Amino acid sequence: PEVASKIAAGEVVEKPFNVVKELIENSCDAGASKIIVEVNEGGLNKIKIIDNGKGIDKDDLPLALERFATSKAATVEDVYSAATFGFRGEALAAISSVSDFKITSGKDGKAYTIACQYGKICDIKPTAAVKGTIIEADRLFENLPARRKFLKSSKSLEGEIIKLIKHFSLINPEIDIILKCNDKEVYHALSSDDTVVRASKVFNGKAFCKGVAEYAGKKVTACATLPAASDRLKRDAIIIGVNGRLIKDASLVQAVINAYHRLIPDGRFPAAVIDIRINPDIVDANVHPAKLEVRFVNAGEIFSLVNDAVANSFKGKGV
């Protein structure tokens, strides 16, 4: 079982990026309106996530570390719903098996902490009150030297996390999110900054325009830059989120590009944020453990809503 859980852990947590992604998604699930992320040495030495979400009951603390003991997927059916980001119930189990791990969580004026060192769970202890949850994962992969050896430099791991937090903040505009690297604040998206303001911060001060397209309970908000003469084709500057989760979807990226090309037919499309909000029943987010890919029940409809939202963002802008 130890080997099996190490292998399973590897699928969920390949590098610090995955740890941070799983933890901020959990904070989101818990209804947090503020999240502070701290990483040292690209997350290899320390990852700490502080949120003001609903917290974890004392009795649920050990369960949170158990594989598949998620509180979120009540039935097998639920596993295929992305109503909440979590539905596999293995992130914390995986992370706590490859790090010096600690959860501190408070509810109703009482707070408890549970530690787990590389899979070895320690007792629950009462602790000074906190409102929300603090998760700490230190010295990642110290029990898996081979994996640690093949990781990139801490500088480049840090770069991946900075990009993750910035992009995540673009598709969760209502959340106040702070990132500190090596104890220095490197990014802060205030809750008063809407997507247009955040996007401009993330993409070097470029001006963004917002457009919306809605149909039958599906809503797509696009924030897109007006192309400047110097802009060149950059597919990775097209950020796509579904219900607050970052996804990769080549065909939706193409929808954005097509919308640009219809308006400005010379190959320029600098940056865009596509925020898709739909009924979770029509998304299957369980395609891959890292959950970057999803399947839509009616992909064609989403495709044309994305196209319309981008086109609407340029309405009246003289293009």
Binding site for Mg ion (CB under 5 A): 26, 86, 91
Q: Which is nearer to ligand ADP, 137 or 238 (CB)?
A: 137
Radius of gyration of the chain from Cα atoms?
20
Binding residue for ligand ADP, selected from 92, 114, 252, 310, defined by CB under 6 A: 92
Residue 21 interface partner, choices ligand ADP, Mg ion, none, CB cut-off 5-8 Å depending on type: none
Q: Which is nearer to ligand ADP, 97 or 133 (CB)?
A: 133
Output the CA torsion sign for 10, 32, 50, 69. Answer: negative
Closest distance between Mg ion and the C-beta of residue 68, in Å? 12
Do residues 260 and 311 make contact, with C-beta atoms less than 8 angstroms apart? no
Q: Counting every residue, how long is the chain?
A: 319
Among the listed ranges 40-48, 89-97, 142-150, 254-262, the one in contact with ligand ADP (CB under 6 A) is 89-97
Does residue 244 interact with ligand ADP by CB under 6 A?
A: no
Among the listed ranges 67-75, 123-131, 168-176, 205-213, the one in contact with ligand ADP (CB under 6 A) is 67-75
Task: Pick out residues in 34-53 that bind ligand ADP (CB under 6 A).
Answer: 51, 53
Which residues 6+ apart lie within 8 Å of 136 measured at CB?
46, 47, 48, 101, 102, 103, 104
Q: Which is nearer to ligand ADP, 53 or 270 (CB)?
A: 53
Binding residue for ligand ADP, selected from 13, 15, 21, 70, defined by CB under 6 A: 70
Burial track 277-301 (b if 16+ CB lie within 10 A, e otherwise):
bbebebbbbbeebebeebebeeeee
Residue 35 interface partner, choices Mg ion, ligand ADP, none, CB cut-off 5-8 Å depending on type: none
Which residues 6+ apart lie within 8 Å of 15 measured at CB?
43, 151, 152, 157, 160
Closest distance between ligand ADP and the C-beta of residue 307, in Å? 33
Does residue 302 interact with ligand ADP by CB under 6 A?
A: no
Do residues 130 and 103 make contact, with C-beta atoms less than 8 angstroms apart? no
Which residues 6+ apart lie within 8 Å of 117 measured at CB?
100, 101
Closest distance between ligand ADP and the C-beta of residue 18, in Å? 11
- Residue 113: count of CB within 10 angstroms of its CB: 20
Q: Which residue is nearest to ligand ADP (CB)?
A: 86
Residues at the interface with ligand ADP (CB under 6 A): 22, 26-27, 30, 51, 53-56, 64, 70-72, 86-93, 133
